[in-house]
Structure 1
Amino acid sequence: MSDKKVTVTLVKSVIGTKQSHRATVRGLGLRRLHQTVQLEDTAAVRGMINKVSYLLKWES
């Protein structure tokens, strides 16, 4: 099991974005602006972050 974590913060609103991008943000566990979550550093999570990177701020 990997102990690595990624901290992700929603810094831009999902209003006006594609439905799939909104679903990806929700899949990351983000509901509100400036909400921060810690996630496992996996390939799936990295792919989700890359898809909506223009809405997020993240650090390993």
Structure 2
Amino acid sequence: MATIVVKQIGSPIRRPKIQRATLKGLGLNKMHRTRELEDTPSVRGMVNSIPHLVTIVEEKG
């Protein structure tokens, strides 16, 4: 199973509600937190929809 490590680099303050919901869906809620997630098309789509708030730190597998 391939995974990616995603890090939050931007604040959700004064962002549209949909972007805040996307962050919450990824399991991120505070600055500089990291999360290891499965590398699926849905997760990639969520990450690509908010590139100014998150970055991919590492890709495993």
- Normalising by structure 2, we get a TM-score of 0.90
Identity percentage over the alignment? 40
Structure 1: gaps spanning 5 or more residues = none
User: How far apart, in 1, do the equivalents of 2:36 and 2:26 lie?
Assistant: 9
Structure 2: gaps spanning 5 or more residues = none
Displacement over 4 Å in runs of 4+: none
Give the SS at the match of 1:45.
helix
The structure with more strand, counted as a fraction of residues = 2
Aligned partner (choices 37, 40, 60) of residue 38 of structure 2: 40
Measure how far apart 1:31 and its partner are.
Answer: 1.2
Aligned partner (choices 12, 15, 19) of residue 14 of structure 1: 12
User: How far apart, in 2, do the equivalents of 1:16 and 1:24 lie?
Assistant: 14
Partner of 2:28: 30
Measure how far apart 1:47 and its partner are.
Answer: 0.4
Deviations 1:2-58 (A, max 9, x none): x10010000110101110000000000001100000000000000000111111111
